[in-house]
């Protein structure tokens, strides 16, 4: 739904709402996930039993609903996923002169769902990090999708200068026929989910479900998720998540898409010189610069969003009897991005049109 209006000569503004909804999307889960409760009646929750069993595969398999197949995950894709997308989309277009144009657009949006990338998540026989965290509480996985970009801005300008056909040969050939083009882009980072990673001394990590691909830590109240200090590659705030006080056999309260990854901003510039040899033959000299200001844009794919502690301290000192993590040391690279998009690049070219 949109409305467009001319606000000045050859200048229009458009404002619209765009939304979409997805239902019955493929959502993977582990059918052999250890269920909640004390189903074996020994007075200890089965998920804590699973952690205490350590490397004893047979003991762990006995806690699973389909233990006859062993201590393994059984990946199933069910049509239970859903998504919703809302956006405010705006655009301004202005045409002027002889072929010149300015255009700017801005989108404010939210992409929410329990399938991080839209329903084709998981694969290769495993639910991966996209599967249902706890089958008894699927709402834990609803949050901002990995495709979410809260703010998206684009602007472009094409400025066609006079050809000076009625001027002298020098003025026409040297000063006339120039075109200037520029594109500016800026958008928010995509939504990021933080995972616990492997825990030293705790085989199977901290939640005891047997499904290790999607276990998450607890958040620290009052701490911003984005880093406010440190090197530029430090995107996430290490103090915003913790395993201190984590009750083994439970699930962390850090949700999906709780923070934004690296943002992006770039300006490109182009300069063209048109030279007319005849009515049918024209050459164009092209000089283009990408990322004019040489801004460092880190990639979201290179962001380390896994705590992966280097050490943990357990309340009893033994994984076979522990019930709580009382201290931990996160990986030193947690929250850092390790790769960037292209730096400033320039290119020259000649284009012949006939």
pLDDT number for residue 117: 82
DSSP, collapsed to helix, strand or coil, labels residue 152 as: strand
In a domain, 50, yes or no: no
Distance in angstroms (rounded) separating the CA atoms of residues 89 and 99: 26
Q: What are phi and psi of 147, to 5 degrees?
A: -85, 0
Say how many domains are in the chain.
1
pLDDT number for residue 127: 79
pLDDT number for residue 122: 61
User: DSSP 3-state helix, strand, coil percentages of the chain (rounded to 5)?
Assistant: 10, 40, 50
Among 303, 139, 313, 305, residue whose Cα is nearest residue 233: 303
In a domain, 103, yes or no: yes
In a domain, 46, yes or no: no
In a domain, 204, yes or no: yes
In a domain, 85, yes or no: yes
In a domain, 309, yes or no: yes
In a domain, 192, yes or no: yes
Give me the domain span that covers residue 17: 2-33+73-353
First to last CA, the chain: 43
Give the Cα-Cα-Cα angle 303, 307, 313 (nearest 5 degrees). Answer: 165
pLDDT number for residue 163: 77
Query: What 8-state DSSP symbol labels residue 250?
Result: S
pLDDT number for residue 240: 96
Query: What 8-state DSSP symbol labels residue 59?
Result: H
Which residues of the chain fall below pLDDT 70?
119-126, 168-170
Among 102, 103, 92, 192, residue whose Cα is nearest residue 150: 192
Distance in angstroms (rounded) separating the CA atoms of residues 232 and 235: 7
Q: What is the pTM of this model?
A: 0.87
Q: What are phi and psi of 53, to 5 degrees?
A: -70, -20
Strand partners, 93: 12, 103
In a domain, 279, yes or no: yes
pLDDT number for residue 305: 95
Cβ atoms < 10 Å from Cβ of 284: 15
Digit-coded pLDDT (tens) for 295-312: 999 999 999 999 999 999
């Amino acid at each position: 739904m949109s409305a467009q209006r001319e606000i000045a000569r050859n200048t229009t503004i458009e404002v619209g709402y765009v939304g979409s909804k997805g239902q019955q999307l493929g959502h993977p889960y582990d059918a052999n996930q250890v269920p909640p409760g004390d189903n074996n009646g020994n007075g200890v929750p089965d998920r804590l039993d699973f952690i205490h069993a350590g490397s004893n595969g047979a003991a762990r398999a006995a806690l699973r609903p389909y233990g006859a197949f062993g201590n393994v995950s059984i990946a199933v894709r069910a049509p239970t996923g859903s998504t919703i997308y809302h956006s405010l989309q705006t655009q301004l277009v202005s045409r002027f002169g002889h072929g010149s144009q300015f255009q700017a657009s801005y989108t404010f949006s939210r992409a929410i769902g329990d399938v991080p990338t839209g329903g084709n998540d998981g694969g290769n026989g495993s639910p991966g990090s996209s599967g249902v965290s706890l089958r008894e509480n699927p709402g834990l996985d609803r949050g901002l999708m990995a495709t979410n970009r809260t703010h998206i801005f684009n602007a472009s300008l094409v400025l066609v200068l006079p050809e000076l056909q009625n001027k002298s040969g020098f003025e026409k050939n040297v000063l006339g026929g120039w075109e200037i083009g520029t594109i500016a882009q800026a958008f928010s980072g995509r939504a990021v989910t933080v995972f616990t990673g492997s825990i030293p001394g705790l085989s199977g990590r901290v939640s005891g479900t047997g499904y290790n691909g999607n276990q998450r830590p607890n958040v620290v109240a009052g701490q911003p998720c984005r880093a406010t200090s440190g090197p530029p590659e430090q995107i996430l705030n290490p103090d915003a998540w913790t395993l201190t006080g984590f009750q083994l056999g439970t699930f962390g309260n850090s949700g999906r898409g709780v923070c934004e990854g690296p943002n992006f901003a770039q300006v490109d510039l182009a300069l063209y010189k048109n030279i007319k040899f005849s009515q049918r033959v024209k050459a164009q000299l092209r000089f283009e610069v990408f990322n004019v200001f040489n801004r460092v844009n880190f990639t979201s794919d290179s962001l380390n969003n896994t705590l992966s502690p280097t050490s943990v301290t357990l309340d009893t000192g033994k994984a076979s009897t522990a019930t709580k993590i009382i201290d931990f040391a996160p990986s030193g690279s947690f929250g850092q991005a390790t790769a960037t998009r292209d730096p400033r690049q320039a290119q020259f070219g000649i284009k012949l049109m006939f």
